[in-house]
Each structure stands twice: as C-alpha cells, then as structure tokens.
C-alpha cells in the first residue's frame, strides 16, 4: 500500500495537536483517536471466563459494527499504564455491574487478527478465570424477544452464535470449571 508523503514537520505538528487535546492517555481515548491507534498497533485485551457452580458460562450479547450480533465473553482493552487487574475489575463493573475475583495467571493467550480489517484488526487476548462476588442484577438478563447489547445469559458450552473471534475459547467454554 502506498502512503502519501508527509513531511516530518507536518507529522510532528499533528502529533503535538493530538497530545495537547488529550487530558490523559490512561483514560478512554476519543473514538476517532482510538480507531487510529488500533490501525497502527495491536491492542492488548482481557477476556473474562466466568462460570457458575453448575459449570455454565456467563456471556454477554454484542451487536456492533465490528462484530455484528452474537455472544461474547466480557472483555476490554487495557489502557496505557493500567494494570491487568484494574482492567478486569473495570470490565466486570462496566459490563456486568459486579466485582469479580480472578486467577492471576491467564488461562490462555491468543493473537487474533482479522485478515481484511485495518481498524481493530489485531489483538493480543488474555483469558482470565473469574468468579462473581455477588449475583448479577436480573434487569440485565437477556430477553430473546428484545435483545439488548450488553445483556447477560448463562450458557452450557459455546453457543452457535458465539462471535467468530471468541470461538478460540470454545474448549474453555466446553470444559468444567478451572481448578
């Protein structure tokens, strides 16, 4: 792919403008800037494998322009200078409204690339075994007649409509609770 020539000076002005417009890179980036960064470097994210005492998997419904409709494991991209534990806690609170305990060593690490996507097309994903500290709020339970992004549901195994990128976790979804 050919790139138009940009002078080093013009590039430095653009970088300076971006940096001056940010409060802190450790907080959420504006959407356009996040998408730019995701087109330049792999993103590192955590995914939460949460099982109940019956061995069912907690998944949330997703429906967005990048992944379409389907089930996925709760997860999120680690922010600059953010610890993995802090990101796991933020995902659990933000996506599920609860706190979790988690094993400090990931169950799995995977590199996920999308062959044609230039934005959000390369991830290093870390899968962590987690347990809920308190029950989930029933208001967030998935209702098939009115699906909402972010709603949760317990699943036995991997559902047929698990998003493509999370099929790498199928063996963990089929397995009993990690010891």
Q: What residue ranges define each of the domains in the chain, with the CATH number in brackets?
A: 28-174 (3.90.79.10)
Show the tokens assigned to 34. Answer: 């996040």
- Name the burial class of residue 43, with classes exposed (0-12), middle (13-18) and buried (19+) by CB atoms within 10 angstroms of its CB: middle
Report pLDDT for 54.
Answer: 93
- Of the candidates 67, 73, 78, 74, the one whose C-alpha atom is nearest the C-alpha of residue 45 is 78
Report pLDDT for 177.
Answer: 64
Rounded to an integer, what distance in angstroms lies between the CA atom of residue 94 and that of residue 136?
A: 12
Report pLDDT for 27.
Answer: 66
CA 154 to chain centre: 18
**Read out DSSP for 167-178?**
GGGHHHHHS---
Task: Tell me the pairing of strands 43-50 and 122-132.
Answer: parallel
Strands (E), the chain: 43-50, 57-64, 68-72, 75-77, 100-102, 108-113, 122-132, 152-155
Paired strand residues for 133: none
Paired strand residues for 112: 123
Paired strand residues for 44: 124
Show pLDDT as tens, one digit a residue, over the chain (179 residues): 556 678 889 989 988 888 888 776 656 778 888 888 888 999 999 999 999 999 999 999 998 777 778 999 999 999 989 999 999 999 999 999 999 999 999 999 999 888 888 888 899 999 999 999 999 999 999 999 999 999 999 999 999 999 988 999 999 999 776 55
């Amino acid at each position: 792919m050919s790139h138009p020539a940009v002078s080093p000076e013009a590039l430095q002005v653009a970088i300076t403008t971006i940096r001056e417009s940010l409060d802190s890179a450790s907080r959420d980036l504006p959407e356009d800037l996040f998408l730019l960064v995701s087109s330049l470097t792999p993103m590192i994210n955590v995914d939460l494998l949460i099982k109940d005492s019956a061995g069912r998997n907690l998944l949330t419904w997703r429906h967005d322009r990048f992944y379409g409709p389907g089930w996925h494991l709760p997860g999120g991209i680690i922010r600059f200078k953010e610890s993995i534990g802090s990101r796991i806690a933020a995902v659990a609170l933000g996506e599920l409204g609860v706190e979790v305990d988690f094993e400090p060593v990931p169950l799995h690490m995977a590199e996920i690339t999308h062959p044609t996507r230039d934005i959000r097309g390369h991830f290093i994903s870390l899968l962590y075994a987690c347990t809920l500290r308190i029950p989930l709020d029933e208001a967030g339970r998935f209702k098939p007649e009115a699906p909402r992004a972010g709603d949760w549901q317990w699943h036995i195994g991997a559902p047929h409509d698990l998003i493509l990128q999370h099929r790498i976790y199928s063996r963990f979804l089929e397995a009993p609770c990690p010891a």
